[in-house]
Amino acid sequence: MTTPAGRIVAVTGGTRGIGLGLAQALLATGHRVAVCGTDSQRVAKMAAELPHALVTTADVTDRDSLQRFWDATVDRFGGVDVWINNAGVSHTRAPVWELSESETRTVVSTNLIGVLNGCAVAIAGLAATGGGHVWNMEGLGSDGRTVPGLTVYGATKRAVTYLTKGLAREVPAGVTVGLLSPGMVVTDLLTGGYADPEEQAKARKVFNILADRVETVTPWLAERAVTRTRNGEHVAWLTTGKVIGRFATAPFRRRDLFAEIPES
């Protein structure tokens, strides 16, 4: 597959985890990249480590803040070809009624309102400048599967999938949208939030079968993010066939994804 050279890609939540992995992979293959995050210290650190990228502070829950991120990207690189709504947070693994209103609001505001804001800014901007593609990031719950203790997170991801499918039917000419599904990736988003060490140990056994590290998944996703930009596109790393295959071969291979987890 030939990757179009020199695409301009903006990634929200791009200073850690999957977003950072995408940025690094895109930079390594000759693309121009802008990333944003909310932690000013982390932004400063990544700006030093990614000297060829635009790294700036932006809050996805604030549409004006995302508009400034868009404007800064256009000022730096002359436009945007691909926008990736990657920013997301999880919550303590607990039933809805045990989560504080503050924690619930943070998850919904970041994972759903943040994506809505990103879509609004990017689609309007792309429509005004000749077109381009918007990706929204799927996660646990996107397919309707439920996991006790992660209901709020899953509900936001289910909503993002619905949102993206709806947008595919109403985007203006020249603009396309799609879904990126990274599967299980070993970041704080996947492994955090466990209050019970025994429950965490059980989960790690499953993760060692189905999950992958950031540096394994993101180059694959990054290539497709700039090449598979048809409207309504769905790019999934962890397919049903791959899940079946991994469980079938699990007794014969040993994986320890947590031996030396890179900083995320």
Q: Mind listing the pLDDT tens digit for each residue in 17-69? A: 999 999 999 999 999 999 999 999 999 999 999 999 999 999 999 999 999 99
Q: What are the counts of helices (DSSP H) followed by strands (DSSP E) for the chain?
A: 10, 7
Domain presence at residue 144: yes
List phi, psi (to 5°) of 205. Answer: -65, -40
Residue 97 domain boundaries: 8-185+214-240
pLDDT in tens, 139-158: 999 999 999 999 999 999 99
Quick one: what percent of the chain has pLDDT higher than 90?
77
pLDDT in tens, 84-125: 999 999 999 999 999 999 999 999 999 999 999 999 999 999
Domain presence at residue 257: no
SS3 assignment, position 207 = helix
Indicate if 153 belongs to the active site.
yes
SS3 assignment, position 179 = strand
Domain presence at residue 264: no
Question: What is the CATH number for 110?
Answer: 3.40.50.720
Contacts of 129 (CB under 8 A, 6+ apart): 74, 79, 80
Q: Domain tally for the chain?
A: 1
Q: Which of 69, 77, 135, 153 is catalytic?
A: 153
Contacts of 255 (CB under 8 A, 6+ apart): 208, 209
Q: What is the pLDDT of residue 185?
A: 85
Please tell me the pTM assigned to this model: 0.90
List phi, psi (to 5°) of 54. Answer: -90, 120
Domain presence at residue 246: no
Domain presence at residue 247: no
